[in-house]
Structure 1
Amino acid sequence: MAEVKLLGSWGSPFSRRVEAALKLKNVEYEFVDEDLQSKSALLLKSNPVHQKIPVLLHNDRPIAESQVILEYIDETWKEGFPILPKDPYERAQARFWARFIDEKCLPATWKALWGSEEPEKAVEEACELLKILENELKDKKFFAGETVGLVDIVANFIAFWLRAIQELVGVELLSKEKLPKLYNWSDEFCSVFQENLPPKDRLVAHFRGRLQSTTTTTTSS
């Protein structure tokens, strides 16, 4: 077994976060693409509580939950680019905004993209949250400054997945006109992590299938 193994899914922004962090630290790893409809015995054993990806196996010891894994990687491999700031206050701020993204932005954007009983309200709420995130970006290249950090990595869904899916479903949340700073940031992020993002055509095809199955009231994949 490799020293470092990642149990993930090719199209998951959460496992792609871990791949981005491993890239920043120049850590070699083995990637195991899990079938989430038929989870492996290794995944169920490694994450018995949530039974979800991603799971990082380091010398056979499992670490679950993407944000927890990112901090573990930063603390374990000191070489390469830092993921979290050294200053305690800045570290706390980075953790705050990372949680804001996962607890507020992602659920709201997902709801706006895939419809709700009040679609206009869902889009408005998602745009308001993205505006808050843009205000935090200020005039910086990345949330961490001149280089990427924890908040940038956690926001990968906004940088890549959001733009791909909104084109498919016809709901505009992130555009150069509405959120120019966040839009430019997404371009910068995708440029840095191009090798750690899923093929756009394959991703769009996956979500197109999901959209079609939803509109025909069948079970989505």
Structure 2
Amino acid sequence: MTQVKLIGVTLSPFSRRVEWALKFKGVEYEFIEENLQNKSPLLLESNPIHKKIPVLIHNGKPICESMVILEYIDETFEGPSILPKDPYDRAIARFWAKFIDDTCIPLLGKVLFGKGEEAEKSKEEFGGLLKILDNELKDKKFFVGDNFGFADVAANFMAFWFGILEEASGVVLVTSEKFPNFCGWRDEYINRSQVKEYLPSRDVLLAHFQSRFQSPK
């Protein structure tokens, strides 16, 4: 009998990516909540290089990095595909996943948690990234046509966590007037029945971020 464990954090978008994939594939798993302020021996042993969550442990073997884990789950377990079947569509999905992780999320951190001139410059740059995403999503429900999949799961932070961060910080970056296609994709994302069950509580997440923004710098 296979054994699947997931070391993660309930409020983490990266953990939630993996949970969505496991549920989508119908894989039973044990979720192990990690304390990032006091990292467990299991996490440090399973991911000794980066010491980060999430980590999937399958039959005693650890796999690290959320998008690597998603591909592993897709290739290992039976069920509907997460990545598109067409090679070109797979490449497009991987491109947007990497763009979001490597470019969008780090810059958003600078917008929300930076100070002064750095924050203002980052805000302008981030607006440019939103224009790119808005243009890509024109006339499409999701990043690869009408099918929800790999790139959209990678973009869960932009679809859900981002809006809550805006509310908690008081910094408004997205409006439907400026970015109608992005907002349409976000609404479609959040309202999908297969997505709702793997998203954390909005109220809990909002309270978490509000406490961060209200705490002394």
> Which TM-score band (shorter chain)?
over 0.9
With the length of structure 2 as denominator, give the TM-score of the two structures: 0.93
Matched residue SS, 2:116:
coil
Deviations 1:105-133 (A, max 9, x none): 11112211223332332211111101111
Q: State how many pairs are aligned.
A: 214
With the length of structure 1 as denominator, give the TM-score of the two structures: 0.92
Identity within the alignment, %: 58
Q: 190, 205, 208: which is aligned to 2:207? A: 205
Partners in 2 of 1:84 and 1:75 — Cα distance? 9
Could you tell me which runs of 5 or more consecutive residues in structure 1 were left unpaired when the two chains were aligned.
Answer: none
Equivalent residues of 1:83, 1:149 under 8 A apart: yes
Aligned equivalent of 1:61: 61
Aligned equivalent of 1:111: 110
Aligned equivalent of 2:135: 135
CA shift for structure 1 position 78: 3.3
Partners in 1 of 2:78 and 2:181 — Cα distance? 31
Matched residue SS, 2:191:
helix
User: For residue 203 of structure 1, what is the amino acid of its counterpart?
Assistant: L
Deviates most, 3-12 or 129-138: 129-138
Partners in 1 of 2:78 and 2:134 — Cα distance? 30
Q: Find runs of 4+ consecutive structure 1 residues off by over 4 angstroms.
A: none
Aligned-CA RMSD value: 1.5
Partners in 2 of 1:28 and 1:189 — Cα distance? 24
Deviates most, 64-73 or 164-173: 164-173
Equivalent residues of 2:89, 2:144 under 8 A apart: no
User: For residue 213 of structure 2, what is the amino acid of its counterpart?
Assistant: L
